[in-house]
Amino acid sequence: MKISVIQMRVRRTKEESIREVARKGRKATRLGADVVVLPEMFSCPYETSNFPVYAEGADGETVKRLSEIAGENRIYLIGGSIPERDENGNLYNTSFVFDREGKLLTRHRKVHLFDIAIQGGQSFKESDTLSPGSSATVFPTEFGPMGLCICFDIRFPELFREMEERGALAVFCPAAFNRTTGPRHWELLFRARAVDYQLFTIGAAPAADEGAPYISYGHSIIVSPWGEVLSQAGEEECILMKDLDFSEVEAVRRQIPLSPPVW
């Protein structure tokens, strides 16, 4: 499976961001991508005050356009995340996934909200405006089952355990770490989860924008089941391309069996 991770800045308007996704999606398709992955909050400046302003329902314009991009390019599209408003007015940080025909395969609502206060560093509280999701997410593809989480979810191994037990061969993680936690924990967490559960981990981050109130660390990443970093970006806009061979998952799990013993 050839994946394409799009690291891009959030544009001035939602429409400009979506147009950029369409442009980069076409480029990734020309390069042979089967799966295209977008960053967390790819079309919404990452501030709690913006989430209600940019929020849409699952039948909104952004989901419709992402579906069209997937279908037109015949790709699986993991739509980063957007602020989603449900029928009761609750807001979620949600990733929508589409198949090669543009059909909605699944959505993941971020389970673990980013509520942190680093002494002398970053503070953020998603729960000021967002509600948490409540389940792990695994979706089918022609290559096998794939897992999906969002950003802060990667710090919680039990979520990955459930995805692994449901057959996930890789876990995609749209994420926006910052320059406080990013240098310390970004690569470490993606490598740790890959080794813990013997699967590929893929992080898709926004590119850094020096003019934004929340500056993404960038460094989109692809890690093998051995914990090897196969590809990693810097902070700039770019597209990471990589072929994933899922026989490597089987090989690692056979050579280093980690299934819980029966006592």
pLDDT in tens, 149-163: 999 999 999 999 999
Q: How many CB atoms lie within 10 A of CB 237?
A: 17
> What pLDDT is recorded for position 148?
98
> What pLDDT is recorded for position 71?
98
pLDDT above 70 (res 11):
yes
Is residue 2 annotated as a catalytic residue, yes or no? no
Q: Which of 155, 160, 110, 114 is nearest to 138 (CA)?
A: 160
Tokens of 208: 């850094």
User: Among residues 44, 149, 151, 173, which one is catalytic?
Assistant: 151
Q: Using DSSP bridges, classify how beta strands 146-148 and 35-37 pair: parallel, antiparallel or unpaired.
A: unpaired
Please say whether the beta carbons of 8 and 237 come within 8 A.
Answer: yes
> What pLDDT is recorded for position 75?
98
> What pLDDT is recorded for position 68?
98
User: Among residues 14, 20, 24, 40, which one is catalytic?
Assistant: 40
pLDDT above 80 (res 118):
no
> What pLDDT is recorded for position 34?
98
Mean pLDDT of 52-77: 98
pLDDT above 90 (res 260):
no
Is residue 173 annotated as a catalytic residue, yes or no? no
Q: Over pLDDT 90: what percentage of the chain?
A: 90
Q: By mean pLDDT, which of 66-70, 109-113, 211-215 is the weakest?
A: 211-215
Mean pLDDT of 63-69: 98
- Alpha carbons 126 and 128: distance in angstroms, whole number: 5
User: Among residues 24, 110, 126, 149, which one is catalytic?
Assistant: 110
Tokens of 36: 């295209």
Is residue 238 annotated as a catalytic residue, yes or no? no
